[in-house]
Structure formats: structure tokens, C-alpha cells
């Protein structure tokens, strides 16, 4: 739909341009991967079965790819285009798309309540981070790869049945603190990546296609 809207000139950022920078900036996401793995190893929580590990991989790659294409590749890109003539299109587009990304996770209220509300918060922070990486590079590979790895790492270990979360908003203190820390740290990193000193660089990058083209004015009528 986006490609048709922009006469097949729309690109999602799956190209070689700025690939290395995209991967380097997105590598901050490895902090969450370690947060998902190290405590479980320390507590001796077992890994999923081979079938569960396969589901973890496929269940991590799918949302990592889809959510980045939808929320960054489509929504954030379109906001940058629609708001290109506003006072601060970078911050407006980043915050709006990130809040939308966080709110998408409210669908998990059907399975858990307390943990879902925390997830909405830290997902918003991660949205700001991944959105900032995309704004700086216009390359989706870094956000897609790290997002997928984060989701995979969160499914590697056997977890308790979440049904109990339906009855109460209560969540373990460590989970609440971890969610707050992720939101604060990655919001700060994201906002730093798109700090005012980088605005000219970002605007120059986003003035290039996929929707930019020179239009030859028609000759005036005599």
C-alpha cells in the first residue's frame, strides 16, 4: 500500500546504505538480551524443549520483522513525510510512532494485566530507541535484527502460566523495576541519538528519496 501510494518509490530501509551504522547503533539492544538471559541462567530456570526453542525463534523473528516494518518502516516514515514542513518533524514523528508502538501491546491484556501494562511502558521506550536508530540511518536492518533477538531471548526459558495475571494488577517488584529501567535507559539513548546537533544530518538524510524527486515546472501559458 505504501509503495503504491508513492508510485513504487517507497523503500522500507532494507538496503546496504548505512547498514553498519544501523547495526552499531541498534546494538544497545543487546543489554535487554542479556537481561533476558543472565538472570534465568543464574536462577537455574530450564530452557524450553526443542519444540519450544523452535517456537521461540519463529515467534521472535515474526514480530521483530513485522513490528519494525509497520511501526518504523511505514508509520514513522509516513509521519516524517507528512510533517516534513512542521517545526520539529523529527521529535514529533518519533514520539507519536513510539507511543503507537507501545499501545499496540495492549492486545496482551487478554492474557495478562499487570505485566502487559509494564510492557506498554517499556515498549514505548524501545520504540523511541529503535525509531531513533531508523531516523539516523534510514536502515531497518539494525532494529529488525536486535528486535528479533530480544524477542527470541525472552522466549528461551520455561515460564510460569500467566493466567494468574488476569486476576490482579500486581507484578513482582523486580519486573516493575526492570520495566522502568528499560523505559528510562532506552528513551534516554533514543533522544540522545536524535539530539538537536544531529537534526541537520537527519533532515538531509530524509530529504533524499524514496518520495523525493525533482519536478520540472510546466511552462507558463503565453
CA dist., res. 176 & res. 118, Å (int) = 7
Q: What is the largest CA-CA distance in the chain?
A: 83
CA dist., res. 200 & res. 63, Å (int) = 32
The pLDDT of residue 6 is: 62
CA dist., res. 46 & res. 121, Å (int) = 28
CA dist., res. 196 & res. 205, Å (int) = 15
- Residue 201 contacts by C-beta under 8 Å, 6 or more apart in sequence? 136
Whole-number Cα distances in Å, 66 to 120, 143, 147, 175: 17, 11, 10, 26
Helix (H, G, I), strand (E, B) or coil at 109: helix
pTM to 2 decimal places:
0.87
The pLDDT of residue 38 is: 94
Q: Residue 4, Cβ neighbours under 10 Å: how many?
A: 8
Along the 222 residues of the chain, how does pLDDT read in single tens digits? 666 666 666 667 888 999 999 999 999 999 999 999 999 999 999 999 999 999 999 999 999 999 999 999 989 998 998 999 998 999 999 999 999 999 999 988 877 888 889 999 999 999 999 999 999 999 999 999 999 999 999 999 997 654 444 445 677 888 899 999 999 999 999 999 999 999 999 999 998 655 444 334 444 444
Contact 178, 35 (CB under 8 A): yes
Grid coordinates in use for 193?
Answer: 541519538
Burial 73-82 (b: 16+ CB within 10 A, else e): bbbbbbbbbe
203: burial class by Cβ within 10 Å (0-12, 13-18, 19+)?
middle
The pLDDT of residue 218 is: 44
Integer-rounded Cα radius of gyration of the chain = 20
Residue whose cell numbers read 543487546: 30
CA dist., res. 121 & res. 110, Å (int) = 17
Amino acid at each position: 500500500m505504501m509503495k503504491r501510494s508513492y508510485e513504487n518509490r517507497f523503500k522500507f530501509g532494507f538496503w546496504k546504505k548505512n547498514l553498519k551504522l544501523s547495526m552499531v547503533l541498534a546494538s544497545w539492544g543487546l543489554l535487554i538480551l542479556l537481561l533476558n538471559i543472565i538472570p534465568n541462567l543464574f536462577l537455574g530456570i530450564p530452557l524450553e524443549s526443542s519444540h519450544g526453542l523452535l517456537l521461540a525463534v519463529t515467534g521472535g523473528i515474526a514480530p521483530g520483522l513485522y513490528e519494525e516494518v509497520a511501526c518504523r518502516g511505514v508509520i514513522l516514515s509516513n509521519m516524517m513525510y507528512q510533517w516534513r514542513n512542521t517545526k520539529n518533524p523529527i521529535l514529533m514523528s518519533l514520539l507519536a510512532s513510539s507511543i503507537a508502538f507501545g499501545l499496540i501491546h495492549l492486545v496482551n491484556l487478554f492474557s495478562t494485566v499487570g505485566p502487559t501494562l509494564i510492557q506498554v511502558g517499556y515498549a514505548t521506550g524501545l520504540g523511541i530507541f529503535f525509531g531513533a536508530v531508523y531516523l539516523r540511518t534510514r536502515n531497518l536492518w539494525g532494529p529488525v535484527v536486535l528486535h528479533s533477538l530480544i524477542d527470541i531471548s525472552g522466549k528461551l526459558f520455561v515460564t510460569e502460566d500467566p493466567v494468574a495475571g488476569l486476576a490482579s494488577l500486581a507484578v513482582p517488584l523486580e519486573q516493575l523495576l526492570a520495566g522502568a529501567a528499560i523505559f528510562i535507559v532506552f528513551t534516554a539513548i533514543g533522544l540522545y541519538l536524535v539530539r538537536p546537533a544531529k537534526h541537520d544530518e537527519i533532515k538531509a538524510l530524509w530529504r533524499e528519496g524514496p518520495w523525493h524527486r525533482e519536478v520540472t515546472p510546466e511552462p507558463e501559458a503565453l
